A and B are shown apart, each in its own frame.
Chain A
Amino acid sequence: MVHAFRIGGLRLALDVESGALHSLSEAAFCVLEKRIAGESYEATPDEAAATHNLTQLEQAGQLFSPAADTQVHTHMQKRKPVVKALCLHMAHECNLRCAYCFAGQGNYGTDDRGLMPLEVGKKALDFIIAQSGARRNLEVDFFGGEPMMNFDVVKQLVAYGRAREKETGKRFRFTLTTNGAFLSTDNIPYINENFDNVVMSLDGRPDVNDRMRGTGTYDDLVPKIKAMASARGNASHYVRGTYTRHNLDFATDVLHMADLGFQYLSVEPVVAPPSEDYALREDDLPALFAEYEKLADALLEREKTGKGVRFFHFDIDLDGGPCIAKRVTGCGAGSEYLAVTPGGRLFPCHQFVGDDAFCLGDLDTGVLDIARVHEFSHCHVLTKSECASCWAKYYCSGGCMATAHYANGSILKPDKISCELMRKRIECALYMLAARKI
C-alpha cells in the first residue's frame, strides 16, 4: 500500500509496509497517483523517466512493498497480554471544573467518589506486580480528578513501589498527570526526582484556557507549570491542552505555549458527545486540517530561528520507533493497561471509568473478567477492517477504543473524526521530516 499526498508544496509518498518516505517530482507524483488508482496512461517523456525511478524504488523494496503480516498475525494470535500499566484514580474530585472534562468534573459520574485510600493503592501496585509476568517495566500514572488532592498517598505509594521494586526486580515508571494548581516550591523538587514523566494541563491563550477551565485559571496555573517545566529541563514532561470547537484556531494556542517557553507540548482534540456545543463536528474538518498544516509550517519556521519545540503529535521518529507488533497492538486498554478507581474497581482505561458495563473486576478479588479482557486484547489493527486497510495503521495503531465505543457502539469501529484528524497529523509529521531534509 502506498499513500501519496500533497502538502506544503511537497508531493510525498509513504510506502506503508516498509515505512519508506519519498518526495516526488510533479511527474512522478502524477504517475504514482495513476498507478494507485489502477489507471492506464500514456507517458510523456518526463513521465517515462519518472516511471523508471518509481520502478527502481519498487525493486529496492521502498514502494509497493508487500504486507509481511503473517509473522505479526501469528504473534498477535499467540500473545497472552499481561498487565503492565495502571492508571490510578487517586481522587475522583477536582479543584477545577473544566467544562469539557470527560471525567465529569472529576467524579466520573459514579458513586465511586473521593480519594483513593493508601491500602487500595498498595493493592493496585501488588496487583500489577502479580499480573505482569516476566515484564520488567511497569507504568503507573497517578491520575484523577486531580491526584495532587491526595498527594500524601501518592508519595507513600511511590515509596511503596520503590520498596517493592527491590524485592521483585520490577521497575516502576511513575507519571503524574496534574492540572498544576497544587505545584509549589515545596513539592516540585520531590516530583522532579521521583517521577519519570509529568503531564500538566494548559489550553493555550488566556481567554481560551479560562473559557473552558474557569476565570483566572490561566494566571494561577502558568507560573506553577513554568516552575515545574523549568525544573524538569529535558526530563520527560508535557504541557498538554485540549482544543474544542471554540478554538478551531488552536495552532495559535500551541504557539502561545511555545512562546511561554514550554518545550514539550501536546494539544488534543476534545473528547465530547456531539450534543455539546464545543464538540468537534465533521464539517469542522477542513478548518482543522488547514490548522494542523499551518502549525507544521509555523513550527518549522521556529526551528530555523533556534526556537524549535516538540509537538507530541508531530513527533514521529521514522528510524527508531517501536516494532510492528507494538504498532498494531495499540493502547492496550483492557488488557495491558487498566484503570483503578478510588474504591479499587478495575476498568479498561480512564475513559471507561464510570461505565459499569465495562467494569472488569476489583482489587479485592484480584480477578479479571477474562472474556472482556480477551475482547479488548483482540481489538487491534489487524482485526479492525477499517484499520487493516488504512495507510496510517503503523503510526496510529488503531485509535482510541473508548472513542470508538462511544461514537459507534463498538470498540472495533474507529471514530471517523478521530481517524481523519489522526491521518492529517501523521501527514504533517511526515511533511515536517521531509521539509527538514529538502
Chain B
Amino acid sequence: MASCNCGHQNDDEKQKEFGDLLAKYKGVKGALIPVLQEAQEIFGYLPAETMKQISQSQGIPFSKTFGVATFYSQFHLKPRGRNIIRMCQGTACHVRGAAKVFDAVSTNLGVAKNETTEDRRYTLETVACLGACGLAPVMMVNSDTHGRLSPDSAVKMVKNYE
C-alpha cells in the first residue's frame, strides 16, 4: 500500500489520477472496493468529497459507499501519518510478548492505537497477523516487515523512519 504523503505530487496530479481511476471502473460490476482501495492509495485516506464523487460515478447511494468504507478496517476517513506502523497482535505474537512491544512504541511516540503523532510522522495501528508468525513478535512499517522484536529494538527501528 504505497500511500504517498510526501507532498511532491501536487493536488492537481492527484485529482487527475483520481479522474482516470473513476473512468477505469465506470460500469464495472462489484468495483466499489477496488475503487476505494485505489483512491486511498492516491490520497492516503478517503476524504468525504472523494467518497461522494465515487458514489456518483458508480451510481450508488453515498450511504452505501460510506457503509462499505466504515466496515473494512483497511479504509481510513482521516489523514494518516507519513509512516504507518502496524503492530501484530495475533496469537503467535501475543504469546511472545507483543503487548509489551506495543506499549513501548505507544509510550515512546505518545500515541494510542489508531492515533497519529502531531507532526504526522507516525500512525500507530494494530493488525491481527502478518503471516510472519515464525518471527514473532512482528511489526510492519510501511511495506517493510520487522521480526524478532523486543520493546527496545522496536522503538529503535521505528526511529529509522523519517
Tell me if chain B binds chain A. no
Residues of chain A having any CB pair with chain B under 8 Å: none
Task: Write the residues of chain B forming the contact surface with A, with a CB cutoff of 8 angstroms.
Answer: none
